Amino acid sequence: MRPFGVWGALVNGERDDRYGGGGGVSGSFALSVWLTIAALALLFAVVALVYGNPVREAAAVQPPRPAAYGGGATLLRGTPAPEAASAATTPSGRSDMVGAAARDVDLATELAKVRIENAALRQSTELLRGQIDALSERVGKIENHFSEMTGSIGSPSALTSEANALRSAMPNFDDLVPPDSGSQGEAAYTQFGMELGTYGDLTTLKTAWSDMVRQHPALFEGLDGLATIRDRGGRTELLLIAGPFRNAAEAAERCGKAEASGLKCLPAFYLGQQLSMH
């Protein structure tokens, strides 16, 4: 059997026309050469398509990056990423579910904050309303107190009933001097005085008044002392009132001097039974 193609030409010593031969190489030799070249080119093309360009692949290779999946395992180079992890990075699928859940959590947190703020605001409003009610009540009491201080003295029958109550409560009030008509007329425009303290009986009150006049003669010069009954909590007290003054400003000014001297003093309504110092 005789070899063919290039190998046959080398083995059998077939000559090319370049070397001067008579017969030359058959047409199958050229065809086999071209077929061999085409086969090699096709082989290289297939290899290039399958494996790619090694130089370009080396340049395109990126350093491995760890990726968390499940319990935090790290993906090594060359390990295919799990589908769940890749799906989390896509703008659709499970990533939408994760984003929606995060938004729901944020909305729930904001709603809880708003509810807490509303509860605190409601509590502050109720506390403020209670303070306003208490302030209104105090203002009403103060207005009533000033209306009593700046009001009229009252009818003579009211004064008589108060004097009768004083006599019935304190049997030893015989030494009280009842005011005459002149003093009543004067009280119509000199109705303010100084409250100098409360006492349990008339004797103690008169003694305190005498001591004050003796110790501070300049302070109480021209003033008279009155005993006024006040019922506080079911207990009867006697108020020592010094006066009279034409207006509350004069009484307040004299009270300031009395406090500077170490005495407790408050402007008061000048009404009561005059004390007899005899």
Res. 52: pLDDT tops 70: no
Residue-wise pLDDT for 67-119, tens only, equals 444 444 444 444 555 454 444 444 455 566 667 777 888 888 888 788 877 77
- Which pLDDT belongs to residue 115? 80
Residue-wise pLDDT for 134-160, tens only, equals 787 778 777 776 665 555 445 455 555
- Which pLDDT belongs to residue 259? 94
Let me know if 104 is exposed, middle or buried by CB neighbors in 10 A (0-12, 13-18, 19+).
Answer: exposed
Model confidence at 162, pLDDT cuts 50, 70, 90, reads low
Q: What angle do CA 242, 243, 249 make, to 5 degrees?
A: 115
Alpha helices in the chain (DSSP H): 5-12, 27-51, 54-60, 83-89, 94-150, 156-169, 181-187, 202-215, 248-260
Query: Both tokens of residue 269?
Result: 């309504």
Which residue's structure tokens are 């015989």?
174
Tell me the pTM: 0.35
Tallying the residues shown for the chain, one arrives at: 278
Let me know if 131 is exposed, middle or buried by CB neighbors in 10 A (0-12, 13-18, 19+).
Answer: exposed
The amino acid at residue 85 is A
- Which pLDDT belongs to residue 4? 47
Q: What percent of the chain has pLDDT over 90?
A: 20
Neighbours of 173 (CB within 10 A): 17
